[in-house]
Structures are given as C-alpha cells and as structure tokens.
C-alpha cells in the first residue's frame, strides 16, 4: 500500500512538473500562434495603403501550421508548411542563415515585410521583425513541429528568363477547365474571391476580354509560376505545369463566356 501511495505521488509530481513546463513554454508559443493569424501583428503593422502598410494578409493565408501531407485540408497554399522550420537552420536557399536564422523567424521575417507590408523584395530586411515576435513565432513553430522535420523541398530561384520560359511552356499546354475551377477554389480565392471580383488580388476577368488572349495567358502563366509584386510564386511541387494550364483554361473559359 505504502509503495503504491509513493508511486502515485511520484506520478502526480511528474505530471505537475510536465504540465507547468509546458504551460510556461506555451505562453510564448501562444503569442506566436496569434501573430501567425493576425494581419496587424498585435497592432504593430500600420494601417494604410501602399508600401510599409498592412496588406491584410496573414502568415496563415500562405502557410499551414500542421502537417499537410498527413492531414490535408484540401487547400493549396503558396508557401510550405511551417512544420519543421526550426530544424532547417537556413532559409531562402541559404540567404538567411547563422544567427540571423532565429532572428528572422526562420525566414518568416522576409514574408513579414514583403507580404504583410508590401515592401519590395530587394528592399526587405528579414530581421526587421520585432525580436519578441520572432522569438514567439519560433516558439510556436517548435511547439507544433515536435520532432517532425516537415516537408523536404528545394526553393527554385527562377530568374526573369526562366520565369518567361516556364510561362511560354505552360501557356502552350492544353488545360482542363473543370479541374482548373477546383484548383482556383483551393489556391486562389484567398486573394481573388472569384475571377470577376478583386480582393487583395486584382480582378482577373473583365466584361471586355483582352485583345490578345493568348499573350495574356502567357503573361499570366509567368506570373503564377514566378510571382508578382505581392502575388506569391507557386513552386512546381505546389502547382504543377499541368495544374497551372488547367487554371488558365478555366480563366480563358470565363473570359470567353462573359464576352459580349
Ligand atoms: C502571400 C503568401 C505568404 C505570406 C502571407 C507569408 N509567406 Fe512565408 N513564404 C511564402 C513563400 C512563397 C515562401 C517561399 C518558400 C516556401 O515555399 O515555403 C515563404 C517562405 C517562408 C519561410 C521560409 C521557408 C524556407 O525554408 O525558406 C518561412 C519560415 C515563412 N515563409 C514564414 C512566414 C511567416 C511567419 C509569415 C507571416 C509573418 C509568412 N511566412 C507569410 C509565402 C508567404
Ligand atoms: C496572397 C494573395 C494572392 C494569391 C494567393 C494569389 N494572387 Fe494572384 N495576384 C495577387 C495580387 C496582389 C495581384 C496584383 C499584382 C501583383 O501583385 O503582381 C495578383 C495578380 C494576378 C494576376 C495578373 C492579373 C493581371 O491582369 O495582370 C493573375 C493572372 C493572378 N494573380 C492569378 C492568380 C492565380 C491563378 C492564383 C492561384 C493559383 C493567384 N493569383 C493567387 C495576389 C494573389
């Protein structure tokens, strides 16, 4: 009996200790979780229009905070899951590494300035994110990752020529418009609510179609694969060439059927 009591007290003590260390951890991680979903970043991103102001985007619009391969929710996000970020040790194809890695929230500091505040890519300072917020995001990434190393991928850094070549190749492919509509719903509506309505992204299909639909399609294919000023690029492991061709077939259909 006595043995059982001391055993139970031991188990209880361990449970209490584990509970409190986790609760302490999760304060920081909880802040990170809230920042991940907050376009104002706790009010530190300024409201307004143009460069340096809130775009309305959140980290969650472009990154899953869970393992998408194990528990897919059907959405297609431009960025990879943040699962495993702390284990990576470098980001942006090695451009963010060493002491800057944690300070830049594992690469998230780049997105913080570029996508949340519309600062041009070549002017972004990935360590401009407040230190407290970088720490909170990293704590959150750690708490949701555990020892899951996350997706393995290589960032393809396409130069202007490679983007144009990809666009021409895709625009020459035949696409399936019905599949394109489904892909559009899963990937694009977060910024383009429908092809006829502007959101954070522009209105794609207007009442009068462009004079040269083919060259528009090539330009659009280039933009989807290569990204725009605020529009994120879609790497080929996220949208294949055929996926993009399908989306373009859908947009072309909408253009032609609304033409008067
Ligand atoms: C508009 C879409 C978008 C938004 C919003 C966005 N990101 Fe990203 N992010 C990307 C893309 C695209 C990449 C390129 C690499 C990739 O595919 O993961 C990236 C890269 C990253 C990386 C580095 C991946 C690597 O290993 O190079 C991290 C970490 C990250 N983002 C975190 C964040 C955080 C934190 C936020 C919010 C402050 C955020 N992102 C907001 C699209 C976005
Ligand atoms: C995170 C927000 C965001 C997402 C997600 C997004 N876009 Fe965009 N898109 C934009 C913005 C903003 C623009 C305006 C110009 C720019 O940033 O380059 C744009 C512009 C475009 C254009 C060029 C329009 C023109 O007339 O030149 C096309 C085409 C386009 N988006 C297609 C797509 C497709 C297809 C998807 C889904 C695979 C998608 N976008 C996902 C934000 C987004």
pLDDT digits (tens, 9 = 90+) for 182-195: 999 999 999 999 99
* Test site for ligand 2: of 58, 223, 248, most ligand atoms within 8 A of the Cβ: 223
Check pocket membership of 255 for ligand 2, CB cut-off 6 A: no
Q: Are residues 111 and 202 in the same domain?
A: no
Query: What is the pTM (predicted TM-score) of this model?
Result: 0.91
Q: What CA–CA distance (Å, rounded) separates 95 from 86?
A: 16
Contact 199, 188 (CB under 8 A): no
CATH classification of the domain holding 243: 1.10.760.10
Ligand 1 atom closest to Cα of 106?
29
Domain-terminating residue out of 145, 179, 205: 145
7, part of any domain:
no
Ligand 2 atom closest to Cα of 248?
35
Check pocket membership of 79 for ligand 1, CB cut-off 6 A: yes
Query: 217-240 burial, b for 16+ CB within 10 Å, e for fewer?
Result: bbebbbbbbbbeeebbbbbeebbe
For residue 38, count CB atoms less than 10 angstroms from its CB and return exposed for 0-12, middle for 13-18, buried for 19 or more.
Answer: middle
Q: Are residues 116 and 55 in the same domain?
A: yes
CA distances from 10 to 6, 18, 23, 124, 176 (A): 6, 12, 20, 52, 63
Check pocket membership of 82 for ligand 2, CB cut-off 6 A: no
Nearest CA to 83 out of 22, 33, 147 is that of 147
Query: 57-83 burial, b for 16+ CB within 10 Å, e for fewer?
Result: bbbbbbbbbebbeeeeeeebbbbbbbb
The total domain count for the chain is 2
241, part of any domain:
yes
Checking if the pLDDT of 159 tops 80, the result is yes
151, part of any domain:
no
Q: Are residues 168 and 225 in the same domain?
A: yes
Checking if the pLDDT of 20 tops 60, the result is no
Residue 80: what pLDDT?
Answer: 95
Domain-terminating residue out of 145, 177, 195: 145
* Test site for ligand 2: of 192, 198, 253, most ligand atoms within 8 A of the Cβ: 192
Q: Are residues 112 and 37 in the same domain?
A: yes
Q: Are residues 130 and 203 in the same domain?
A: no
Contact 91, 137 (CB under 8 A): no
pLDDT single digits (tens) 61-107 = 999 999 999 999 999 999 999 999 999 999 988 889 999 999 999 99
Expressed as residue numbers, the domain containing 234 is 160-258
191, part of any domain:
yes
Q: Are residues 208 and 172 in the same domain?
A: yes
5, part of any domain:
no
Q: What CA–CA distance (Å, rounded) separates 79 from 36?
A: 14
Q: Are residues 138 and 41 in the same domain?
A: yes
CA distances from 72 to 131, 152, 194, 208 (A): 32, 16, 23, 38
Q: Are residues 197 and 141 in the same domain?
A: no
Nearest-CA residue for atom 36 of ligand 1: 59
pLDDT single digits (tens) 96-141 = 999 999 999 999 999 999 999 999 989 999 999 999 999 999 999 9
Contact 250, 175 (CB under 8 A): yes
Residue written as tokens 């905070």? 65
115, part of any domain:
yes
| Ligand 2 center to 229 CA (angstroms) | 9
Nearest-CA residue for atom 43 of ligand 2: 231
Q: Are residues 118 and 202 in the same domain?
A: no
Domain-terminating residue out of 116, 145, 174: 145
Residue 205: what pLDDT?
Answer: 95
11, part of any domain:
no
13, part of any domain:
no
């Amino acid at each position: 009996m006595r043995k059982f009591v001391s055993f139970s007290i031991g188990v209880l003590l361990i449970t209490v200790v584990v509970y409190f260390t986790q609760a302490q951890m999760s304060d920081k991680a909880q802040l990170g979780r809230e920042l991940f979903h907050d376009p104002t970043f706790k009010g530190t991103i300024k409201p307004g229009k143009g460069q340096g102001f809130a775009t309305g985007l959140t980290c969650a619009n472009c990154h899953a905070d869970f393992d998408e391969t194990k528990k897919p929710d059907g959405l297609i996000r431009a960025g990879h899951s943040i699962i495993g970020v702390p284990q990576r040790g470098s980001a942006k194809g090695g451009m963010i590494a060493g002491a800057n890695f944690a300070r830049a929230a594992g690469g998230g500091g780049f997105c913080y300035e570029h996508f949340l505040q519309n600062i041009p890519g070549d002017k972004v300072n990935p360590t401009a994110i407040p230190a407290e917020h970088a720490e909170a995001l990293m704590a959150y990434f750690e708490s949701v990752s555990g020892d899951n190393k996350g997706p393995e991928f290589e960032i393809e850094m396409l130069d202007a020529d490679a983007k144009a070549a990809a666009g021409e190749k895709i625009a020459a492919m035949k696409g399936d418009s019905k599949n394109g509509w489904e892909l559009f719903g899963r990937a694009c509506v977060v910024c383009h609510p429908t092809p006829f309505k502007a959101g954070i992204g522009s209105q794609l299909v207007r009442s009068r179609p462009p004079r040269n639909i083919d060259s528009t399609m090539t330009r659009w294919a280039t933009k989807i694969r290569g990204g725009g000023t605020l529009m994120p690029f879609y790497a080929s492991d996220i949208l294949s060439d055929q996926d993009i061709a399908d989306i373009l077939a859908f947009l072309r259909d909408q253009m032609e059927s609304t033409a008067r």
